Chain A
């Protein structure tokens, strides 16, 4: 009983914190435990409370960013932090090409640029676990991964071409109030480089063979994992300076909870 009362007090404090900590354009994500497709040792992982951007970062927002931080402009960005296709859909340092929509998610950005963007807003990139935790929901359920409709929708998107040119916020938001985790672009995560699928390290060879094993991913019971499987495979193949047409990002923010 005492424990319950204590829990309630903590909850109230946390809730109040959350009211204060709420930032514009972000929603509160209540942490929890879940089993990711591909977590640490394939066991349950724990995600703390955090705020997440409602939308992916848009072209327009990135235009404002590079105007303020010239080192991320197309002609000024250094090779250590970018490859040749960085912002290749921009006509110059400050403007998008006319064919691009300001309200489409920004793409052709490297991990370094995405990371710095978030840090300059006092935020950070989400971890793989955080991103997947929020992304496993549909409009009404926090963990919709077992629903055939959830997976069908995501896989239908994976087949749709040029979805990066669509606008943000046009498909329904998920149960947390977050838009476009699926359907527009892939998104950078802070620790994308924690996905080891190359087998360079002897320790991960066994575990990661799961990821390459076709039978495991095509199997009917694992269809729910197929979409996630593709995301992990993409992460495993990325290099932080790559910029790609269908890879954008959004930011999250820690919530300062007194412990």
Chain B
């Protein structure tokens, strides 16, 4: 710092202030932030759930539909954020017939929804709808993050309905030493939380994510955005991501209670102790081909948490795909667009 003079710092501060003044103006002029770029049609609806079919981008898409089961804790448009950052577009371009469950935003009427509702009713009905629509015994499923854990439970309970299962950044062992989310929730009185709120607020979950890296996620990025305020497309990309980050649905109370306690606090999934209704989830029943995709720098779902699946699932055709990047990069980085959808499509088309 011995070459950094007070005059130079003053100059930089003045320049920052004038960029800030211009930037606030640019932010007011940026207009509506659109998310979700691929054309899609709703094909099935139940309560707040909507099942969408994305319009195929090849003349004859693969006959076995691919159902994407996204997490409950964020909105699924992360999979289709913008034209050049869309996992879904990549899957469509590779010839797949893609469907996605949008869980919607739970409200007070949903506080009693349990994991039985999410698994047997919602996922079950979407799977059956697609099986009937395509006249197939079984379909392909891509479970993402928490949606991957739900997909594993469904696949263990009704393996005959899943032809191939892809899990992406999916936690299986929630007690690996580097699991920061488990670390944060370990001492939370989940019963008190659910009994107090009914539906735990999305903002609270969002706080947990921000608290993992506050100086970068809640500080530095707002200083860095000053550099792109004159660049409308870059600014829109930033705002699109901001919209997604803070778009955290409240969680249906009873489902959250079981997920937080059984999966995070007691690590029952990997132990084969999760019970859905009156049925135990035994991952050894996951006998269909499995592709487990994880990110090697994932700070939310550490690789070891995902790779634990190798030891406990019953599939004889189990493979892994490691992505060099983090939990968000695997959806939106340009390398992810080049690597992940084609790899998933190749794996599915070969089976």
A binds B: no
A residues contacting B by CB (< 8 A) are none
